[in-house]
Each structure stands twice: as C-alpha cells, then as structure tokens.
Amino acid sequence: MDNQVALDALVAKAALGDMVFPTHADIALRVRRALDNPDCAISELSKLISAEPILSTKVVSIANSVAYNPSGRAVSDVRSAVSRLGFTTLRSMATAVIVRQMEGMAHSSEHLALAHRLWEHSANVAALARVIARYVTKQDPEAAFFAGIVHEVGGFYLISRAAEFPGLLENGLEAWHNDTEAKLGHIVLRALDVPENILGAIESLWGGYLAMPATSLGDTLLLADQLSPVESPLAQLSGMGKQGMLADIELLVDGETLTSILADSAEELASLTATLNS
C-alpha cells in the first residue's frame, strides 16, 4: 500500500474515533480530570495516583530530581511529592505515563526501537523546553515541559498502529511531514484533552519557523527540538533529519549566552531527562 494512502487511512480511522490507547491510560486520565477540579483535595489526589504504580513512582522520582528539589531534601511518599510538585507538574507526569505506555504498544522489535528512540527525543525536548522557558523565553516552564512531553504523541500513535499497514515505517515517511503529522497529531492531542496553549505551541513546531529573538511558547518548543541531542527517528525516516549535525544556535539573554545557560543547567537537564527515561 502506498504510504500516503496508508497514512490517510490511519487519520480517517482516528477522526472517526477508532482509536486505541494503552490499557492503563484510564487511571492517568482520571488523575488528569481530578487535577482539573479546583476542589480536588491533595489526599484524594494522592490516593488516586497511588493506584497506578508507574505514575506514583514517576511522581516521587520527579519530586526528588534536581529541577524540583534543589535543596536535596528527598521525599519518599506520594502525598509529600504531590505537595512539592503542584497540580500543573502532576498533569504533565500523568500525561507522560500515557505517552510512555503508548511506546510499549509497538508490535515488532523494530517498531519498539523506533518508539523508544522517539521517547528519548521527547524526554530531552521536555527537559530543554523547561530550562529554555525559564531562562530564555520567560514562558511558563511547566507549560513548556508539558508541551515537550506530548509534542510527538501523534508519532507514538503512528508507530503503535503501523502493524496494520505493512511496510509503512520501512518505506520512507516523506508524506508524514507534509501534513499528516499535524492532522493525526491534532486528533490524538484532542483525545488527550491537551490545553489550547499547548496545542498552539505544537502547531508552531509543525510550522517549523523559529522567530528570533525567541519569545513565545512555540519558539521555546522549536528551540528545544532543534537543540535536542537525540533526534526524532520519524524526522530521519521522512528525510528531515539533521544527518548527525548538531544545531548551531546562539542567543544572548540578559548578557548571558544560550550555551552558558544550558551549561549551567546541565545537572537539571540530566536529572529531568533521566527521570523521564526511567
């Protein structure tokens, strides 16, 4: 089957609601909905998070990362971690669990390797986006972190359903970056109730135009994507890869270079990336 035809069929199925998500995504989505309730109590939320072992482990782990625990005072229980992180970060972690579980839905070792590489890329982009938002573009760091986590969710869905279309990921994916990525990405992001400001930032990434000086949430995500040391394997398959070349981008922010900002934040970046990849 021609790749464009296969991709169109996948998008059409998703648009009709014929979507498959991980079995355990329901608990993470329930956590997301609880977080949207302004009257949600920490005790209730902690109990809900504790019901999902993967999520509860991630929450405690991220609460002890350098980014959220600069003083080095570790917590060991979900309730303390919830209190430290706050609802916005918890929303990101709940979504990260869903996306990470989508990685495991691949149906072959080759596709699983692609999904794993895509998650490594997403983790690096999320960590970079948080730092760039905080020190460079002055955007909300947690919104940038969330955008980084979900910016490739359409790609994860593509890989999870690729077995239905033999050869789809082996024959080149030029059609993916034409407009299919945006079409499928919109559908999956909507299904996950991703906020409009995050969707707007990801749309900027799909557009591919980085404004200078970088100031918006979209610029933040674009900059993080270009600076990520791990490239999206789907970009490589679609002929949009960097061919091993690192992005050469330098900015001056309040008298300090982007390179020095990232160097000063190296421990924070490594801690966040390792936690997401664990």
Q: Give the pLDDT confidence of 81-100 residue by residue, as tens digits.
A: 999 998 889 988 888 888 88
Task: Answer whether the bond into residue 22 is a cis peptide, omega within 30°.
Answer: no
The confidence score (pLDDT) of residue 105 equals: 85
Residue 243, Cβ density class (10 Å: 0-12 exposed, 13-18 middle, ≥19 buried): exposed
Residue with tokens 């970046």, as numbered in its chain: 269
The confidence score (pLDDT) of residue 62 equals: 93
How far out from the chain centre does Cα 77 lie? 25
The confidence score (pLDDT) of residue 75 equals: 92
Average pLDDT over residues 37-42: 85
The confidence score (pLDDT) of residue 108 equals: 86
pLDDT above 80 for 37: yes
The confidence score (pLDDT) of residue 24 equals: 65
Q: With bands split at pLDDT 50, 70 and 90, how would you rate the model's confidence at 244?
A: low
User: C-alpha distances in angstroms, 241 versus 80, 114, 158, 172, 203?
Assistant: 42, 14, 18, 12, 19
Instruction: Look at 65-69, 135-139, 170-174 and tell me which has the smallest mean pLDDT.
Output: 170-174
Q: With bands split at pLDDT 50, 70 and 90, how would you rate the model's confidence at 164?
A: confident
pLDDT above 80 for 233: yes
Average pLDDT over residues 149-164: 92
The confidence score (pLDDT) of residue 243 equals: 58
CA distance 269 to 218: 20
Average pLDDT over residues 139-154: 95
pLDDT above 60 for 102: yes
Residue with tokens 């149906």, as numbered in its chain: 107
The confidence score (pLDDT) of residue 125 equals: 96
- Number of helical H runs and strand E runs in the chain: 15, 2
CB 116 within 8 A of CB 160: no
Q: What is the pLDDT of residues 255-268, one digit of tens each?
A: 677 788 888 899 99
Q: What is the pTM of this model?
A: 0.89
DSSP 165: S
pLDDT > 90 fraction of the chain, expressed in percent and rounded: 43
H helices within 51-167, ranges in order? Answer: 53-63, 78-85, 87-103, 109-132, 141-150, 153-161
Average pLDDT, the chain: 87
Token pair of 241 as six digits: 């890869």
Q: Tell me the sheet residues that pair with 257.
A: 252
